[in-house]
Amino acid sequence: MKLSGMQLNSVKSAMRALRIGRVLLRYRLDDLLDGTPIERWLKLARPFVPKASPEIAALSRGVRLRMVLQELGPIFVKFGQILSTRRDLVPPDVAEELTLLQDRVAPFDGETARTLVEQSLGRSIKVAFERFDTTPLASASVAQVHAATLPGGREVVVKVLRPEIEKQIAADVALLKTMAGIVDRTHPAADKIRPREIVAEIENTLAAELDLQREGANASVLRRFWENSPDLYVPEVVWSHTAERTLTLERVHGIPSDDIAALDAAGIDRKALAAKGVRVFYTQVFRDNFFHADAHAGNIWADSERKDNPRFIALDFGIMGQLSSEDQYYLAENFMAIFKRDYRRVAELHVQAGWMPSHIRIDELEAAARAVCEPYFTRPLAEISLAEVLLKLFRTAQRYELTIQPQLILLQKTLLNIEGVGRQLDPKIDMWAVARPVLEQILLERYSPQRLAEEFRKRLPEMITHAPDMPRLLHAWLTQQVQGQSTAQINSQDLRDLTRTIRGAQRRTIAAILGTGLLIVAAVLYALEAGGPRLFGIPASVWIAGLGGVWALLAAWPRRK
């Protein structure tokens, strides 16, 4: 009997689920699932699975979990990496072990890689490369890397996707979605954990890693941001030898940032390197809004040629992070509030950002934040882990109905990785002293008059386009207000107060519209003037813009009753 496509997928999912169950039992991780809907099925399977070997039985649960995730494949490795950032859900010993997940697996055949590269580039290896080494330099769960030489002698590395990897990931994503659905229906805090959103985030991350042309674009953008930087080097993409399933980059040489012995042997200033790592992270997040989100030691090397003024070399650009302008603002303000020990501000920001419901009492949340942070500030700053403080705040806030933000998961993971790398390089690094001036400078530049003028210039064409419509829209709105006047008598004090509020809002709206009109007039003058009238050396357009801004600000200012 021939099975339909849907039936075949169901059979495959069942077989995959059975294999996962067998692996969990072999490593004796079934105890982690006690109290879940899967527990009874695992109990039925236990008699058919051999007992754990003495070597496995002697391992801690964190090590066993890490080994299970590595054996199950790429999507489970990514899941474990993300889970390592959720220390509010995972015990500390397990979370620490999961941070060691490096996504390393056995390589596939080199001749197969050669064939895949030829198919992807549409030409033979002999034409595309002067030399192609079939023995891989590195192998991960999604792709592996081979050394090669371009015609002319330039050394490069070629990254090629594993065969059939898309089908394997699609099957695992489908299974993970099923598991998320079970958690969503059965877990009492599912609305806060948001398992479906987390799985969707993993799916999007893996989809990005499966498109090597997109990874090349990521590398190209990051290289542009850090071109000629003394702090970070990004290898160049060879676009003529890059496609959706193959990525070619210039070959770079460095030392993995966790190889302390090799760094010392090369004479590299580890303290300077650690401080640069922290600065690079905050700059990527808050200046560029484009950060390397897989920044473990295997992907972050130190340039072996630079000793006194060391720099990092970035590798593997499949996972890059970006935030909305709102998330950027609230995160930056949260960091600054923690630096200043302003717990009231921390509490207010969590509510204003929408991360917590508005009915939460600010004073209670402030007291909780104070209870978490103050014990840390009794220690020397060099001994304080910024990531640990933030994670404890996160765990505390969850008791006050904090909703998990999937878009921030990558940032949390990256922060933990960067702090881990920094403390390996320099155990006494003062993360706070390094991070604070960088963040202050970035925020100062972001909200400087020059930056605001630049944003104004960007929006100038749009404002000029809509300027001719403003008089007509203003006239129409005022006509509607006049025709809509009511003479009804209101006796209720509450309704009278409401009417007074509405009328005040109308007055402020009219003033705001007029103020906006002045801003638009200033925009037009700014675009057209070249040596126009000035007052005290300042162009007339700037005076008009200032008048319009003050008018709009006064219009928005609440009036006393």
Dihedral sign (CA 120, 122, 124, 127): negative
Cα–Cα distance measured from residue 35 to residue 64, given in angstroms and rounded to the nearest whole number: 20
Active site residue 294: yes
Percent helix, strand, coil in the chain, to 5, is: 60, 10, 30
Report the candidate in 435, 416, 431, 334 with the shortest Cα–Cα distance to residue 383: 431
Residue 213's alpha-carbon distances to 239, 292, 492, in angstroms, are 9, 17, 66
> Phi and psi at residue 529, in whole multiples of 5°?
-75, 145
**Which amino acid belongs to residue 7?**
Q
Q: Are 291 and 320 in contact (CB under 8 A)?
A: yes
Cα–Cα distance measured from residue 6 to residue 495, given in angstroms and rounded to the nearest whole number: 61
Which residue in 103, 294, 303, 426 is the catalytic one? 294
Q: For Cα atoms 159, 138, 306, give the angle at the middle one, nearest 5 degrees.
A: 95
Q: Are 467 and 524 in contact (CB under 8 A)?
A: yes
CB under 8 Å to 137, separation ≥6 — which residues?
145, 146, 147, 157
Q: How many CB atoms lie under 10 A from the CB of residue 214?
A: 17
- Residues annotated as catalytic are 294
